[in-house]
Amino acid sequence: MNECLITVVGNIVNSPQRSRLPSGDGVTNFRMASTSRRFDRETQAWTDNRTFFVDVECWGELGGNVSHTLSKGDPVVVRGELYTHSWDSEQGRRSRPQIRAAHVGPDLTRGTAEFRRSARPVTQAAPPGVPDDVAAEPPAEDPWADRPTDYIEGEAAFSEVDSDLTGDRAAVPALT
């Protein structure tokens, strides 16, 4: 339980590369750069400071989504486990920082994005007494897929919530 979790905001510096391993697992790798900024009192302007380069690996479905969505130069936010990747070379033992990403997304402070959910196959065992061919039918369309928001309008939108820290309960009126 000594993972070093990190969030890095920066830009992708090479095209994400998707690979399939002999085990069948898929991984997407890319390199990103995060440049800190500082205020220069002499020029009264913000200037670039140091740049942190890090390799990012994205496994499974995340890797597939990254390879189909992001490109070189895209601003991203990456969250994952930071570790040191080490190997032996002709010059001796080498190492570099690497992130095993758990989350990758576009940095929306720098632009907009259009999100589309990935199609996920439903694999369920048939309940007792239900033929396998009936259980294998595709699920019905998601009735909420075209809703513009997760919020539901009307009086039933909110349940009771704490009105203060004393534990008193009060109904929250619906927004109109």
pLDDT, one tens digit per residue, over 64-109 is 999 999 999 999 999 999 999 999 999 999 999 999 999 999 999 9
Residue 33: what pLDDT?
A: 96
3-state helix, strand, coil in the chain (%, to 5): 10, 45, 45
The more confident residue out of 176 and 14 is 14
Which CATH number covers residue 71?
Answer: 2.40.50.140
In this structure, is residue 157 part of a structural domain? Answer: no
Domain count, the chain: 1
Full-model pTM: 0.65
In this structure, is residue 64 part of a structural domain? Answer: yes
Could you give the CA distance from residue 21 to residue 91 in angstroms, rounded to a whole number?
28
> pLDDT digit string (tens) for 102-147?
999 999 999 998 888 877 666 556 556 555 554 455 555 555 455 5
Half-sphere exposure in the Cβ direction for 89 (13 Å, CA): 8
CA distances from 135 to 14, 49, 131, 147, 152 (A): 44, 58, 7, 28, 31
In this structure, is residue 155 part of a structural domain? Answer: no
Could you give the CA distance from residue 160 to residue 134 in angstroms, rounded to a whole number?
41
Could you give the CA distance from residue 103 to residue 12 in angstroms, rounded to a whole number?
15
In this structure, is residue 52 part of a structural domain? Answer: yes
Two tokens at 114? Answer: 């259009």
Inter-residue contact 17 to 75 (CB < 8 Å): no
| SS3 call for 44 | coil
Two tokens at 110? Answer: 């720098």
User: b or e along 151-173 (b: 16 or more beta carbons within 10 Å of the residue's beta carbon)?
Assistant: eeeeeeeeeeeeeeeeeeeeeee
In this structure, is residue 68 part of a structural domain? Answer: yes
In this structure, is residue 129 part of a structural domain? Answer: no
8-state DSSP, 4? -
In this structure, is residue 72 part of a structural domain? Answer: yes
Q: What are phi and psi for residue 79, nearest 5 degrees? A: -125, 135
The parent domain of residue 62 ranges over: 5-106
In this structure, is residue 37 part of a structural domain? Answer: yes
